Structure 1
């Protein structure tokens, strides 16, 4: 037979586990937000720098 804790104790354990999961979810969402921001910034970086650097545009027509 399984020894289950009394309902009040089980409720306390479940609440503690749910708080832990909420904190973990919040940390994962913050990390995800940072990664999305970092990837978007990296994707925009070459686009901004390409027009400003010498030779950064498309090659001339006719091979130069």
Structure 2
């Protein structure tokens, strides 16, 4: 445990930390923006009617 306090942050580790943070940010942006982009291309009336159809087929649905 004492070796963790004496360790210095080298450039190599700093690069890995920055790459990890950038990868996480990129993944979260893609996973948030891609479904939103697909949803923006849908016709709202058709999307709501499909949602109601799916909810009517499932008995205890709390989606609305």
Give the TM-score of the pair, scaled to structure 1. Answer: 0.50
**How many corresponding residue pairs?**
46
Greater Rg by CA: 1
Report Cα offsets for 1:8-52 as digits up to 9, x if no partner.
xxx8xx54x632111101011011111111111112023211127
Match of 1:21 among 5, 13, 17: 13
Q: Distance in 2 between matches of 1:56 and 1:18?
A: 55
Find runs of 4+ consecutive structure 1 residues off by over 2 angstroms. none
In structure 2, list runs of 5 or more residues that go unmatched.
Answer: 1-5, 54-64
**1:45 and 1:56 mapped to 2: Cα distance?**
16
TM-score by length of structure 2 reads 0.50
Q: Which runs of 5+ in 1 are unaligned?
A: 1-10
